Amino acid sequence: LSIAAVLAGCSTATTPGSKGVSPLVAAANEEAAATMRIDNLFAAEGTTQQTELPTGNATYEGLVHGDTGGGSGPDLEYYADLTLEVDFDTDGITGTVDNVRTDLGGFITPSGSAPVTGSVSMAPGDAELSFAATGTLTGVDRTATYDLNADGDFIGDTAQAARGTHTTDFIWTAGPDTGDTSWSDGDWLAEQ
């Protein structure tokens, strides 16, 4: 009887769906937690003013989220990791968009990355930034040129975070939708 109870306990230890959440769900959970932190920072300190920007360099890490959009290609939702290297002395921005995850078959976790270039706005008032990223992403049976254009604001008294919106095109260069474009616009956020 005790052996049967042990075996029964072993069989219930591996239930369907116990291997974790999908990459999109995990990214959505990560985005929700970061959004809450940045919302709390915004409620306490507001947007960063141009006069509050720090000097030197800062690294921001976060996510880009594209909602299902449109275009002549297939609809897709995606998340990607975002790293921004900001030089507040020169107002230059570099970085990377990588680790892309989508809901499109044959393109669920494409390899590749897109280098970021951008700048911090010198206009008075709220401290703003804009950046672009272009690169090649290769999936199981699809390849696309990834083209992102983003802008936004720094958040907090010392620019502890940043967030904004973006437009993204996936220009299909190989696979069943070659020659078509899928757009997946949305938002982005990053924290020091």
Q: What is the amino acid identity at position 125?
A: G
User: What pLDDT, on the 0 to 100 scale, is given for residue 122?
Assistant: 84
User: What pLDDT, on the 0 to 100 scale, is given for residue 168?
Assistant: 98
Hunting for tokens 């020091």 — which residue is that?
Answer: 192
Q: Distance between CA atoms of 38 and 87, rounded to whole angstroms? A: 21
Query: Measuring CA to CA, which residue among 55, 188, 47 is closest to residue 130?
Result: 188
Q: Distance between CA atoms of 159 and 149, rounded to whole angstroms? A: 21
> In this predicted model, which residue has the larger pLDDT, 138 or 8?
138
* Max intra-chain CA distance, the chain: 78
Q: What is the average pLDDT value for the chain, to the nearest integer?
A: 91
| 10 pLDDT above the threshold of 60 | no
Q: Distance between CA atoms of 93 and 57, rounded to whole angstroms? A: 10
- Each residue's pLDDT tens digit, 147-173: 999 999 999 999 999 999 999 999 999
| 9 pLDDT above the threshold of 50 | no
Burial class of residue 72 in the structure, from the number of CB atoms within 10 Å of its CB (0-12 exposed, 13-18 middle, 19+ buried): exposed
**pLDDT level of residue 21 (50, 70, 90 thresholds):** confident
Q: What percentage of the chain reaches a pLDDT higher than 90?
A: 85
pTM here is 0.88
Length of the chain: 192
Query: Measuring CA to CA, which residue among 57, 60, 37 is closest to residue 116?
Result: 60
- Output the six-digit token pair for 91: 């107002």
- Output the six-digit token pair for 45: 């300190």
- Each residue's pLDDT tens digit, 74-112: 999 999 999 999 999 999 999 999 999 999 999 999 999
Query: Measuring CA to CA, which residue among 60, 77, 61 is closest to residue 69?
Result: 77
User: What pLDDT, on the 0 to 100 scale, is given for residue 8?
Assistant: 43
